[in-house]
Structure 1
Amino acid sequence: MPSPVKFGTSGWRGVIAEDFTFANVRLALTAIAEHVKAESAEPTILVAYDTRFYSEEFSQLAVDILEHHGVRALLCETFTPTPAVAYEIMRRKLDGAVNFTASHNPAQYHGLKFSSADAGPALPEITKDIEARASQIASQGGVPPLPHSAAKANPSEKVNLRQNYLTRLEKLVRFETLKKANLKFAVDALHGCGSGYLDRTLGDHGVAVAAIRTGRDCLFDGTGPDVSEENLAPLKKVVVDSKATAGLATDGDADRFGIVDRDGTWIQPNLILALVYDYLAETRQWKMPAARSVATTQMIDAVAKSHGQGVHQTPVGFKYIGQLIREDKIALGGEESAGLTIRGHIPEKDGILACLLVAEMIAARGAPLGEQIRATYKKLGREFWPVRENLHLSDEQKANAVCRVGVDSSTLLGRKVVSVDRTDGAKFVFEDGSWMLLRLSGTEPLLRLYVEAESAAASAKLTSEATKWVLQS
């Protein structure tokens, strides 16, 4: 019987009460308990959760099941950001963490991320083992609810991760640079876990902050806790109205960042990754490569080249970048979907750290982001205009598109193809340095189209032509 528990790019996600049910959570947790017991005789697992509907109840169930199977469980006493969970695994040398979050997905979703002892998202061999165990348990009739006595035998061991994590950030961010610059930032927690972290640490270091959407709202204003341009309209308004230096946002579990310039312009995560890498190479003297996913801007490659460095290209999924961080092979790792981490930090996305580094960079360079982007384009001798489109296709259209990109061709869309990369999906690089990538989403039922060219007009033209090509039967 196929397992109802399926791990995608970043954990298992499902619609609450449809796929994400107590029965399926019992199944997932029993499989995880079996997996960690096979790895260690006396494992300790951290259980964390975000601000979504029923997070506390799912987390308590996880603790009860883990302890029922002889696994020591530490329960976060409140909503906790994913990066703080990753740091705590490293700090305490835990055997892993179960984190109830659907990250940036819409409000009707919940999810479960499993992190292994190395503090990064579990690699495919681990999630496949958990899925196989869940499938076997499901075929035997699933997991009945625990007897009431088992669930309530002992009060949970509670932990609060905030202070240790914020202390760690003080070693990574130059807060004195920020304080001296006397700037003001608008912070948007999007009703997620970043509340009380990003706004608080800026305030604690003497930086003026105007914070919005810091309270819990399980419906996330009816949209979702995604750091998209559309969702950050309230932040843009606050930035402009309060004359803030910039707007800084974190998504539902605070592993992704969103940035708004002082004039209210939303800045693409792709461009932020390239700017921060350039800034770290200059200020930290890290003469090291960067890593980016196959779908992320090649502006990072150009910045790396300007510093005499190369780039590691990975499939989509931060777990692959996490491995390079653990091996101390890169200064920065990033994904176009607004994930970033840096050398010496966690092998996981950190939206809080990303926002703080952007704030520090603005303070140190004394220039708004738009100006910094134009200066970097000038230094690199070309511009980069990345685009991402989500194509909602029928299964037949998706199958046709997969067939079309499966064919190697020397020309495509009237352009000469210089290389085809099948790291994840199909990426076609053209003679003029522009490129397009088609891949099926690992978190949503979509075909994603990524395009990059050296002007807004060229990117728009390539996007339009690529979309038409995909939709041809």
Structure 2
Amino acid sequence: MTTPTVSLLARDLKCTLGVMITASHNPFQYNGYKLKDEFGGSMDPEEIAKIEEELKNIKEVNRKNLDELLSSGIIKYFNGNEYYYDYLKNKISTDKIKNANMNVIYDAMYGAGQNIINRFIDIKQLHGELNPGFGKNAPEPVEKNLTEICADIKNGNYSIGIVTDGDADRIAVIDEKGDFLDAQKTFALLLRYLFEKKGMRGKVVRGFSTSELIKKYCEKNGIELVTVPIGFKHISKIMITDDVLIGAEESGGIGIKGHLPERDGVFNGMLYLEMLAEYGKSISELKKELDDEFGKYFYQRNDVRTTEEKKLKTLETCKALKAGDEIGGKKIISTDDLDGYKFYFDNGWIIIRASGTEPLLRIYCETTTTDQTKDILNKTIGQFGL
């Protein structure tokens, strides 16, 4: 069962709490708990902190016999997967997808998303079997982990490749040529589809490290744009209280109006299939339309493992940088410290921040050419001796 399914059940069954045991997109050694609240999204960090404090007070666990708990009704089994399948049927135009006769390949990354999409249409599924070690790789849908599905598409005849992470709340998309579609473009194409084709309205909420393409699209179409710190919990909080059309982060986590205040890779994968069926165009054609209208943007994130000493020194140096200084060979025009340190220059930006989930520095960069994005990233890493 996927993490978004747990969120859906917590909401629809009016549960006080939903608990998912998962390593998410991380290696299996990171196995832990995700707590979902009754509204169908991640529990507020302050509430989680209260639970953690309560756990410290538990000295002894009063274990009970499972059969007794089942017979008394305290524990009940529920087929959440079937509930989720029925839910998708009512939310996604599955008949339209079937009639489009698309050739789809899906990589489950040995995760919880396996054997869901193929309930609706015939697909080729990769890594759709039980493997607790995820094939010795982190089940994270980033470009470097997706060489197999990209090669299959290049050597085959596929309309789209869809990938979800270990607990299936994140998505990655590969176009019909076998080229990876970065999460920024994945976000932008869904936003355009919801706004222009489906006629949906509402605010757009984006993480701090998302593309300027989103800002340009919202400005042109009069859409209110809200920027929040990195982490979907910040997006979810606004989705609960406000009228939000779509909320997304740069790592492939996307929440959609009318679904959940939560990321859902499988739902978004099905929505992508619906989008292609509706437009009758390929992903590369749709991407080119965005590029022609708003210009090209090239984004990359580097995760740099380093010592704690170097990490702290880098962050201190970033804190002191100001307009007029240089980073990665580019003159800084302005700065923003909403989450980490963001530096704007003439044709792009770069962010340096400490990861909230792993012992490393994350460096994000976007410019108008691939080569320049890579060059600035490499020069920045060298500048800080990382």
TM over 0.5, shorter chain: yes
CA separation of 1:440 and 1:127: change in aligned 2, threshold 3 A: same
Equivalent position to 2:359, from 429, 445, 454? 445
Query: Aligned residue for 1:323?
Result: 237
Query: Aligned residue for 1:240?
Result: 154
Alignment partner of 1:412 is 2:333 = no
Per-residue CA distance 1:86-128 (angstroms, 9 max, x = gap): 1111111111111101111113321111112222112221122
Query: Aligned residue for 2:43?
Result: 122
Query: Aligned residue for 2:336?
Result: 421
Query: Aligned residue for 1:454?
Result: 368
Equivalent position to 2:111, from 182, 192, 195? 192
In the TM superposition, what is the alpha-carbon distance from 1:309 to its structure 2 partner? Answer: 1.3
Equivalent position to 1:170, from 89, 114, 117? 89
Alignment partner of 1:95 is 2:10 = no
SS of 1:218's partner is coil
CA distance in 1, matches of 2:93, 2:240: 23
Gap runs ≥5 in structure 1: 1-79
CA distance in 2, matches of 1:416, 1:211: 47
Preserved CA contact (<8 Å) 2:342 2:350: yes
CA distance in 2, matches of 1:367, 1:388: 29
The Cα RMSD (Å) is 2.0
CA distance in 2, matches of 1:305, 1:169: 32
Preserved CA contact (<8 Å) 1:96 1:118: no
Query: Aligned residue for 2:282?
Result: 368
> Residue 22 of structure 2 aligns to which amino acid in structure 1?
T
SS of 2:365's partner is strand
In the TM superposition, what is the alpha-carbon distance from 1:244 to its structure 2 partner? Answer: 1.4
Q: Give TM-score, length-normalised by structure 1.
A: 0.76
Structure 1 segment 49-198 matched on structure 2, within 5 A: 80-134=1-55, 136-137=56-57, 143-144=59-60, 146-147=62-63, 149=64, 153-155=68-70, 156-198=75-117
> Residue 29 of structure 2 aligns to which amino acid in structure 1?
Q
Query: Aligned residue for 1:294?
Result: 208
Equivalent position to 2:169, from 250, 255, 258? 255
In the TM superposition, what is the alpha-carbon distance from 1:296 to its structure 2 partner? Answer: 1.6
Preserved CA contact (<8 Å) 2:305 2:359: yes
Alignment partner of 1:356 is 2:270 = yes
CA distance in 2, matches of 1:215, 1:399: 41
Gap runs ≥5 in structure 2: none
Per-residue CA distance 1:308-367 (angstroms, 9 max, x = gap): 213111111111111222224221111111101111111111000111122222222233
CA separation of 1:310 and 1:461: change in aligned 2, threshold 3 A: farther
Query: Aligned residue for 1:229?
Result: 143
In the TM superposition, what is the alpha-carbon distance from 1:465 to its structure 2 partner? Answer: 2.3
In the TM superposition, what is the alpha-carbon distance from 1:158 to its structure 2 partner? Answer: 0.8
Preserved CA contact (<8 Å) 2:7 2:37: no
Preserved CA contact (<8 Å) 2:104 2:160: yes
CA distance in 1, matches of 2:130, 2:380: 41
Preserved CA contact (<8 Å) 2:6 2:19: no
Mean CA deviation greater in 310-319 or 162-171: 162-171
Per-residue CA distance 1:375-402 (angstroms, 9 max, x = gap): 201111x211111000111111001011
SS of 1:154's partner is helix
SS of 2:172's partner is strand
CA distance in 2, matches of 1:288, 1:433: 29
Per-residue CA distance 1:151-205 (angstroms, 9 max, x = gap): 66423311111232223223432323322321110112111111121222x32xx
Alignment partner of 1:217 is 2:118 = no
CA separation of 1:286 and 1:443: change in aligned 2, threshold 3 A: same
SS of 2:244's partner is coil
SS of 2:144's partner is coil
Per-residue CA distance 1:55-99 (angstroms, 9 max, x = gap): xxxxxxxxxxxxxxxxxxxxxxxxx10111111111111111111
CA separation of 1:306 and 1:175: change in aligned 2, threshold 3 A: farther
In the TM superposition, what is the alpha-carbon distance from 1:416 to its structure 2 partner? Answer: 4.3
> Residue 54 of structure 2 aligns to which amino acid in structure 1?
R
Preserved CA contact (<8 Å) 2:334 2:343: yes
SS of 1:236's partner is helix
CA distance in 2, matches of 1:255, 1:464: 30
Preserved CA contact (<8 Å) 1:281 1:307: no
Alignment partner of 1:387 is 2:300 = yes
Mean CA deviation greater in 187-196 or 164-173: 164-173
Count of residues in correspondence between the two structures: 380
> What is the percent sequence identity of the aligned residues?
27
SS of 2:381's partner is helix
Per-residue CA distance 1:239-289 (angstroms, 9 max, x = gap): 334411111111111101121112211211111101110111111212333
